[in-house]
Structure 1
Amino acid sequence: MNLARILRHCFTGSLAVRRVFPDAVLIAIEQAISRTEVSHDGEILFAVEAALNTWPLLRDQSARERAIEAFAQLRVWDTEDNNGVLIYLLLADRDVEIVADRGISSKVDTEEWEKICREMEDAFRRGQFEPGVIAGIRAIGNHLQTHFPAERKGGENELSDRPVIL
């Protein structure tokens, strides 16, 4: 059990999320997702969570494990071509995880997803949350455009582009 991590999670609440992701930033993220989804048939969802609840924290749940839970909870897997991608940020840990459905994960190496995560985390360490998230969205969009170019008529949106605060 990591005492520093527990304290960080105890003192990171919803106000911290609102401080780094005010409404204007959430709107910019939503618009970035909308813009990139015009060029591909994939689906991107951004979710941020301030901190883990007590029990998962005491069990030392990793951000990756929580991201996988959120992927299921938010039904990112429920797209026609299995090409949904979740960008999950656990703010207390400043840890970004990308969970990609089987349709896209079979086409993009894990190292590519990890590279995007590290670049986002680097931006966050510099306090650049909005640019960091938008750069991550663009990078993911590039992969989706390569493997799932836009073909749907009417640009059907299977997942909301609006960021989710868990």
Structure 2
Amino acid sequence: MKVTSQSYEKSNKIETVKYSRLSKTEYKALLNASDMYLDRQRAGQKLLNYLCDKYGISQIPLIVTDTPQKGNGKSKILGFYRHLLNAKKGQSITIYNLTAVKKKVVSIKVFIDTLLHEFIHHYDTEYLKIESAHTAGFYKRISDLKNKLS
């Protein structure tokens, strides 16, 4: 999907997420989740639900797969945000729990970074009402959210 220059510029200018105070409870619970994909899915869903409620946007299902990441070792897909216009039931965040080459469980920090990355796509789309693009502002929003949660 091609992002309009207007959305790109707006995304690049917004460097923080709303609210300076966020609960750390759900983040810490995810940080302490086991390597089991279902445990990560449960804890990750609680964090997503909290964030969606906090920002007044639709809750989005988290799918954690017990399959390896897609990729060849050089470039890999850790997760993805699925958003279908006018189809709330079509929204989801998917995260792979196993590495692409060695098929080992991804570290919890990589898992959380991926979850927050995909959440910011949802935040951009639903809260900021912009097409989500990988701008400098996008990555600053991720960093800002992570700092407020940790």
Q: TM-score, normalised by structure 2?
A: 0.37
Q: TM-score, normalised by structure 1?
A: 0.35
The structure where helix makes up a greater share of residues is 1
